[in-house]
């Protein structure tokens, strides 16, 4: 039996490089030989025990690679093609998919998220892709692995937060937290036509990155009160859309307090514990506020569109890759990323 290296979850706080059998493609499936993948903040939630998955699962959900095998019924592709697969792998024919909610595929909350959640994920040498016809997208010639590495999750999620927020031309937008997803939300707000984009964080390098990706004003929350500054910048009006990209009570509440009456809070964070609504900021439910959540849009059409944006030059997210590791160094990579040392934004894991 042929085996491969894989990053296996062994319980809270425990991830280990292990040997697993190389998967075989069944009907409608494909096997992708991973060339590059990365670690997501959600993987850290899994590692810390905040989000439960079964022990022994290979985690990771951001795959870039080469088709190694095509199962029966998978047409229009060939072995050897470079492909991206979204973090969310919808089937394309269940009710939620046909209703436009591919991330909720199968009718269960977050049902479209399978890699590293309900099936083995991408932090391995090979990946079994379900519903391959709906999820394999060929990488355009001329784009590198690192140029498209953010497409499966980070870019799709961040842009999705801007889209779900309904940003209109001329809107004022604030994005709380400028980690990878927040930076992509900032870039997405720019592409949606916002005329004033405010980025909030406490790390100077991340605020500088936000400026490069489209923020007009950056606020260091360690040096001033963001809400006071946001109200000053908007002449007391508040923002049209506030995007929460961290997943904490404090940032969620700050977004709500930054909104104008009738504004939209677009929530991207993964929360743990109890989340509460302050009655004054919520206007006791009478402020015509809109609160929306987004799970990373997936599927091959989403990947095609995001790679078109990258190929056009309208956004370059490859500088987000600040550190590079081989799969043999996966435990070291997790330690760096989980503890946010050395200015890390995203890591590239190669095979």
Residues 140 and 8 in one domain: yes
Q: How confident is the model at residue 84 (pLDDT cuts 50, 70, 90)?
A: very high
What pLDDT is recorded for position 9? 96
Number of domains in the chain: 2
For residues 42 and 139, state if they share a domain. Answer: yes
pLDDT attached to residue 44: 93
Average pLDDT over residues 93-101: 93
Whether pLDDT at 130 is above 90: yes
Q: How far is CA 74 from CA 67, 122, 134, 289, in A?
A: 12, 20, 10, 45
Burial of 71 (0-12, 13-18, 19+ CB in 10 A): middle
Instruction: Assess whether 208 and 251 both reside in one domain.
Output: yes
In the predicted model, what is the mean pLDDT of the chain? 96
Domain presence at residue 310? no
Q: In this model, does residue 50 exceed pLDDT 90?
A: no
Band of pLDDT at residue 108, cut at 50, 70 and 90 = confident
Looking at the domain assignment, is residue 308 inside a domain?
no
The contacts of residue 239 (CB under 8 Å, 6+ apart) are 171, 172, 173, 174, 198, 230, 258, 259, 260, 263
At 251-308, the pLDDT tens digits run 999 999 999 999 999 999 988 888 999 999 999 999 999 999 999 999 999 999 999 9
Asked if the model's pLDDT at residue 109 lies above 90, the reply is no
Residue 300 in domain: no
Structural domain boundaries, residue 165: 158-293
Same domain, 93 and 185: no
Average pLDDT over residues 158-162: 98
More confident residue, 108 or 193: 193
Please report which confidence band the pLDDT of residue 236 belongs to, taking 50, 70 and 90 as the band edges.
very high
CB atoms within 10 A of CB 191: 15
Please check whether residue 111 lies inside any domain of the structure: yes
State whether 89 and 132 are in the same domain: yes
pLDDT for 156: 98
Res 271: pLDDT:
87
- The percent of residues in the chain predicted with pLDDT above 70, rounded, is 100
In a shared domain, residues 124 and 185? no
Q: What is the CATH number of the domain that holds 77?
A: 3.90.180.10
Q: What is the CATH number of the domain that holds 191?
A: 3.40.50.720
Residue 60 lies in a domain: yes
With respect to residue 77, please indicate whether it lies within any of the assigned structural domains: yes
Are 48 and 105 members of one domain? yes
Pair of tokens at residue 343: 């200015």
Do residues 96 and 196 share a domain? no
The beta strand positions in the chain, using DSSP E, are 3-11, 14-21, 30-37, 64-70, 82-85, 126-129, 136-138, 172-176, 196-201, 217-220, 239-244, 259-267, 290-293, 321-326, 346-350
Share of the chain above pLDDT 90, in %: 94
Residues 9 and 142 in one domain: yes
Q: Are residues 265 and 222 in the same domain?
A: yes
* Cross-strand bridge partners of residue 126: 33
Predicted confidence at residue 273, as pLDDT, reads: 80
167 and 96 both lie in a single domain? no
Whether residue 250 lies inside any domain: the answer is: yes
More confident residue, 51 or 261: 261
Q: What is the pLDDT of residue 286?
A: 92
Q: Are residues 171 and 124 in the same domain?
A: no
Rounded average pLDDT over 184-209 = 97
Is 307 part of a structural domain of the chain? no
The first and second tokens of residue 328, run together, are 């043999």
């Amino acid at each position: 039996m042929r085996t491969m290296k894989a990053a296996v979850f062994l319980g809270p706080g425990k991830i280990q490089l292990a040997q697993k059998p190389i998967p075989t493609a069944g009907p409608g499936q494909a096997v992708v030989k991973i060339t590059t993948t990365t670690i997501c903040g959600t993987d850290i939630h899994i590692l810390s025990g905040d989000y439960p998955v079964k022990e022994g699962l290979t985690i990771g959900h951001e795959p870039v690679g080469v088709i190694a095998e095509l199962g029966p019924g998978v047409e229009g592709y060939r072995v050897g093609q470079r492909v991206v697969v979204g973090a969310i792998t919808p089937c394309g024919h269940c009710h939620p998919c046909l209703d436009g909610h591919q991330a909720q595929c199968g009718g269960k909350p977050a049902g479209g998220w399978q890699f590293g959640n309900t099936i083995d994920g991408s932090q391995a040498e090979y990946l079994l892709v379900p519903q391959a016809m709906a999820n394999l997208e060929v990488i355009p010639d001329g784009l590198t692995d690192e140029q498209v590495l953010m497409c499966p999750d980070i870019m799709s999620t961040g842009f999705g937060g801007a889209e779900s927020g309904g940003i209109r031309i001329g809107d004022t937008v604030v994005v709380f937290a400028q980690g990878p997803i927040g930076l992509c939300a900032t870039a997405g707000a720019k592409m949606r036509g916002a005329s004033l984009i405010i980025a909030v964080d406490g790390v100077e390098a991340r605020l500088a990155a936000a400026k490069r990706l489209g923020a007009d004003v950056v606020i260091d929350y360690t040096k001033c009160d963001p809400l006071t500054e946001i109200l000053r910048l908007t002449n007391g009006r508040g923002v049209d859309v506030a995007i929460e990209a961290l997943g904490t009570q404090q940032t969620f509440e700050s977004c709500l307090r930054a909104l104008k009456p009738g504004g939209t809070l677009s929530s991207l964070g993964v929360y743990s514990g109890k989340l509460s609504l302050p009655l004054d900021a919520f206007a006791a439910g009478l402020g015509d506020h809109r609160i929306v959540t987004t799970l990373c849009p997936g599927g091959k059409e989403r990947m095609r569109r995001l790679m078109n944006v990258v190929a056009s030059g309208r956004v370059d997210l490859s500088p987000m890759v600040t550190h590079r590791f081989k799969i043999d160094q996966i435990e070291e990579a997790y330690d760096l990323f989980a503890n946010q040392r050395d200015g890390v934004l995203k890591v590239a894991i190669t095979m």
